[in-house]
């Protein structure tokens, strides 16, 4: 398990199938595959709860994972033979790992870019 977490993180760890990171003003719940090394996660769903009570979601992919998926789809009917990649609530990051993804989420919240990328689940 990775010890990487954003500054000010107060809690992180497993809660059933969820890997949760709790910071002062937000919490993130990641759903990695069973037994997956947290430092190698490259495709994961995440739910984020902000201090204002709002709930948000995204699927986080690494650049390498997007390339792998597109290669897998090449020669199939999926995504026009792997010629494109699209998801409505997708966030693409450079580096794998829950620690890295958590740092990106913290940065997005700090710079007010978060609501442009994540999908709000509880209305406006």
- 15-27 per-position pLDDT tens digit: 999 999 999 999 9
Residues in the chain predicted with pLDDT less than 70, given as ranges, are 1-10, 123-124
Asked whether residue 1 is assigned to any structural domain, the reply reads no
Domain range for 54 is 11-120
Q: Flag whether the pTM goes above 0.85.
A: yes
Asked whether residue 59 is assigned to any structural domain, the reply reads yes
Asked whether residue 3 is assigned to any structural domain, the reply reads no
Q: How many domains does the chain have?
A: 1
Asked whether residue 4 is assigned to any structural domain, the reply reads no
Asked whether residue 68 is assigned to any structural domain, the reply reads yes
**What's the rounded Cα separation, in Å, for the pair 51 and 38?**
25
The angle formed by the CA atoms of residues 86, 89 and 95, to the nearest 5 degrees, is 80
């Amino acid at each position: 398990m990775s010890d990487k977490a954003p500054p000010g993180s107060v809690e992180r760890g497993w809660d059933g199938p969820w890997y949760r990171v709790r910071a002062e003003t937000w919490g993130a719940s990641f759903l990695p595959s069973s037994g997956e090394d947290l430092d190698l996660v490259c495709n994961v769903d995440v739910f984020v709860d902000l201090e204002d009570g709002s709930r948000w979601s995204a699927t986080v992919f690494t650049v390498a994972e997007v390339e792998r998926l597109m290669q897998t789809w090449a020669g199939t009917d999926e995504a026009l033979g792997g010629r494109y990649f699209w998801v409505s609530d997708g966030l693409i990051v450079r580096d794998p790992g829950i620690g890295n993804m958590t740092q990106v989420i913290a940065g997005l919240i700090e710079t007010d870019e978060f609501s442009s990328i994540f999908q709000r689940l509880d209305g406006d």
